[in-house]
Amino acid sequence: MSAFDLTGKTALVTGANTGLGQAIAIALAGAGADIVAAGRSSAAETGKAVTDAGRAFHEVTADFGEPDAPAKAMDDAVSAAGQVDILVNNAGIIRRNDALEFTESDWDDVMNVNIRSVFFLCQAFARHVTGRGATGKIINIASMLSYQGGIRVASYTSSKSGVMGLTRLLANEWAGKGINVNAIAPGYFATNNTEALRADKTRNAEILGRIPAGRWGDPADLGGAAVFLSASASDYVHGTTLPVDGGWLSR
């Protein structure tokens, strides 16, 4: 069996309806994994791509801004698929405003989805995996702002910095339990969230001028990293955050 073969595994991917989460789910399916998509919006398009690849697809509804959503999503995923072997914490939101004007609501909304729900979904997953005496893989989605400060995104930067730290903490605690916890930090990708930036000719040129690869990332560019961190090929990789950024951080 290939060290990158995910046959017989089931992955729970949050926010898999579009963009990066969709691309990750499709890549994991292409490597042999069955997929459970969890989120607020329909993931029917993702489901078609997964089933076209010959893999099983399940969908559970979850609003990760709600306190009980992580535990319920894991319970629903296990009920639908029988077991979960891989967790991809991709769901996230962002709010923009000057720090002097940033509201408590915009702080709490982002932190609840981007870091609180990530921790408690990791916890629910780890309880499921250890409870059945198995091993598992967790991939958290960090950000370039896990490394940099950014501007006008106070809660987003804080939450994504927290994702990197949490990834290390959980790796320290769970590596000995057979659970690999790692993260991917995407660079600038062509998704709905960056449409305004790409439409701004000046900002688009500034961004491209810093990316050594000379282009925006395509969501499919995350697939290889996600498959690697989900597969046995990464069994001795713990607590790392892997930038997939076209060289952005090297510039």
Closest CA to 38 of 27, 29, 47: 47
The answer to whether 156 is a known catalytic residue is yes
Instruction: Please tell me the distance from the alpha carbon of residue 159 to that of residue 172, in angstroms, as a whole number.
Output: 20
> How far apart (Å, rounded) are the C-alpha atoms in residues 194 and 163?
21
3-state SS class at 138: strand
Number of Cα atoms under 13 Å in the Cβ half of residue 30: 14
Strands, sheet with 179-186, edge to edge from the N-terminal-most edge strand: 57-61, 34-39, 10-14, 86-89, 136-141, 179-186, 241-244
Question: What are the backbone dihedrals phi and psi of residue 122, each rounded to the nearest 5 degrees, phi first?
Answer: -60, -45
| CB environment 126-153: b (16+ within 10 A), e (fewer) | bebbeeeeeebbbbbbbbbbbbeeeeeb
Which active-site residues does the annotation give? 156
